[in-house]
Amino acid sequence: MAVAEGHAGVEVPAPPGVRALLAANPVPEVLAGCAEWVVVRMDEPPSLGRLVAGVQAVLDRHDALRLMLRESGALLVRDAGAVRAEPLVAEVDGCPETEANRLAAQLDPRSGDVLRVGLLWDGVLLVAHPLAVAATSWPVLVADLEAACGGARPGGSGPAPAAQARAGARRGELAYWHGVLAPDGPRLGARPFDPAADTVATADRTWTVASPAMAEILLTRLPAACGPSPAEVLLAALALAVRSWRGPRDALCVTLDDGGPAGGFPVRVAADAVRSAADLAEALDGGPAAGRLLRAAATAVRATPRAGSGYGVLRHLDPDAPLAALPVPELRLAWFPQVRGVAWRADPPAVVERQGKALAAVLALAVSEAGDGSLAAEWTAAGRVLDADAVEDLQRHWEQALVGLAAHTPGSR
């Protein structure tokens, strides 16, 4: 990365999400070339000069975009002004996916290369290393870059939670997290998840899409009528799908990936609402059991202490907290709403990964709102644990669950 001479920095402990990624991938070379990327569309793209100036303002404001990964696993955050935008920004002519892969190959947090920006004819391509930009950072960065390209001062970013770990400030939550991570039912896969063996090279990726009309009901009308957030609706849909797919269980434990620096947190959805066959049929038909399951999903999320921020602190930063010895949930759910600035709008995030990078779970479901308003779901399964036929079967139950929850929305029938 272009670093101006004479600029120092400060070494800071890695936040929980970074620690989790480094723990699952102890060979740093595996993380070189990994990236998240988005295409930001606008009616009038900025000039190259204005984009460079905007990127410089965002670099100077956001510490995470100036980080460098040390051998110790700590992060060196360079001073504002130390990383120059000019070498990181260029006009690009290829299709976004091709250009994103090309730019991702230039990223390596060990050298401080965590950001590349391409100026397209109809927008801006942002390519960032996952250690630097979590999914929920995209709305902030898109809005800040739009403001900076217009000459306004971008917003800031929050502090790291390492001090809480050193002080043991979150240990009062240990009993809660142990309860959430208690066994929840029969194993979904053929064997336990193993991040050393279950890597990108073994992943099976498939996609499902729900129509814009279905998405509008689930993401707008159902939350407005019944109170759950879109993420809670999707969590209830996953719980209903798994119940229909694999039969009754005590609860469903899922890592809810909010995309923040904590790296997500587990939630435990009680299965009482759909334990019996009659309740299951009622939920799939949009009846009262669907409402009880929505309430259970919302309760599981909202009962989480401090929006789940303490989980990563206890699991990855506090050496005296035993959470690291507990297994992670087999399922992971991420929700990516549309990223918008004032006049800028971003496509759903995509990723570039190395073959040796560890997967996050036996099955990770990433749901996003596409540009046409449809609800797109990317399913990433550890192929040696959960075979393609099993995933396809679960996807059929997922589609039925979406239909059932949509039918629960007043006026949808």
Two structure tokens written together for 295:
């309430």
Distance of alpha carbon 253 from alpha carbon 177, whole angstroms: 11
What percent of the chain is modeled with pLDDT above 90?
A: 61
Position 157 in a domain: no
Position 225 in a domain: yes
What average pLDDT does range 48-60 have in this prediction?
A: 95
Q: What is the pLDDT of residues 379-412, one digit of tens each?
A: 999 999 999 999 999 999 999 999 999 999 987 7
Q: What is the DSSP string of 123-192?
A: EEEEEE-TTT--TTHHHHHHHHHHHHHTTPPP---PPPSHHHHHHTTTGGGHHHHHHHTS--SS-SSSS-
Q: What is the pLDDT of residues 274-316, one digit of tens each?
A: 999 999 999 999 999 999 999 999 999 999 998 888 888 778 7
Quick check: 59 and 83 in contact, CB under 8 A?
A: yes
Specify the higher pLDDT residue, 321 or 132: 132
**What CATH number does residue 374 fall under?**
3.30.559.30
Identify the domain containing residue 65 by its residue range.
Answer: 9-149
Quick check: 119 and 112 in contact, CB under 8 A?
A: no
Distance of alpha carbon 357 from alpha carbon 363, whole angstroms: 15
Question: Are residues 211 and 122 part of one domain?
Answer: no
Position 223 in a domain: yes
Question: Are residues 181 and 131 part of one domain?
Answer: no
Question: Are residues 105 and 222 part of one domain?
Answer: no
pLDDT surpasses 70 at 134 = no
Do strands 75-78 and 67-69 pair parallel, antiparallel, or not at all (unpaired)? antiparallel
pLDDT surpasses 80 at 110 = yes
Cα angle for residues 372, 147, 35 (degrees, 5° grid): 60
Question: Are residues 176 and 100 part of one domain?
Answer: no
Specify the higher pLDDT residue, 44 or 211: 211
Nearest to 403 by CA among 213, 205, 269, 206: 213
Distance of alpha carbon 391 from alpha carbon 365, whole angstroms: 11
Confidence of residue 247 (pLDDT cuts 50, 70, 90): very high
Q: Where are the beta strands (DSSP E) in 176-232?
A: 203-210
Question: Are residues 281 and 394 part of one domain?
Answer: yes
Position 304 in a domain: yes
Of the residues 119, 149, 179, the one at which a domain ends: 149
Two structure tokens written together for 30:
């595996």
Question: Are residues 180 and 113 part of one domain?
Answer: no
Per-residue confidence (pLDDT) for residue 164, from 0 to 100: 60
Question: Are residues 130 and 274 part of one domain?
Answer: no
Question: Are residues 188 and 70 part of one domain?
Answer: no
**What CATH number does residue 33 fall under?**
3.30.559.10
Question: Are residues 381 and 237 part of one domain?
Answer: yes
Question: Are residues 235 and 111 part of one domain?
Answer: no
Per-residue confidence (pLDDT) for residue 158, from 0 to 100: 43
Position 156 in a domain: no
Distance of alpha carbon 406 from alpha carbon 413, whole angstroms: 9
Of the residues 114, 149, 184, the one at which a domain ends: 149
Per-residue confidence (pLDDT) for residue 135, from 0 to 100: 47
Q: What is the DSSP string of 307-323?
A: GGHHHHIIIII-TT-GG
Position 233 in a domain: yes
Two structure tokens written together for 129:
């290393």
Give how many domains the chain has, as a whole number. Answer: 2
Q: What is the pLDDT of residues 204-221, one digit of tens each?
A: 999 999 999 999 999 999
Beta bridge partners of 38: 126
Confidence of residue 193 (pLDDT cuts 50, 70, 90): very high
Per-residue confidence (pLDDT) for residue 294, from 0 to 100: 96
SS3 250: coil
SS3 389: helix
pLDDT surpasses 70 at 136 = no
Of the residues 120, 149, 178, the one at which a domain ends: 149
Two structure tokens written together for 114:
């965590």
Question: For the chain, first and last CA: distance in Å?
Answer: 56
Q: What is the pLDDT of residues 138-192, one digit of tens each?
A: 888 898 999 999 866 565 444 445 556 556 667 888 889 999 998 888 899 889 9
Position 161 in a domain: no
Q: What is the pLDDT of residues 60-93, one digit of tens each?
A: 999 889 999 988 777 899 999 999 999 999 999 8
Position 412 in a domain: no
Question: Are residues 143 and 205 part of one domain?
Answer: no
Q: How many of the other CB atoms lie within 10 Å of CB of 185?
A: 16
Confidence of residue 16 (pLDDT cuts 50, 70, 90): confident
State pTM to two decimals: 0.80
Question: Are residues 285 and 173 part of one domain?
Answer: yes
Distance of alpha carbon 88 from alpha carbon 133, whole angstroms: 16
Q: What is the pLDDT of residues 337-361, one digit of tens each?
A: 876 666 788 887 889 999 999 999 9
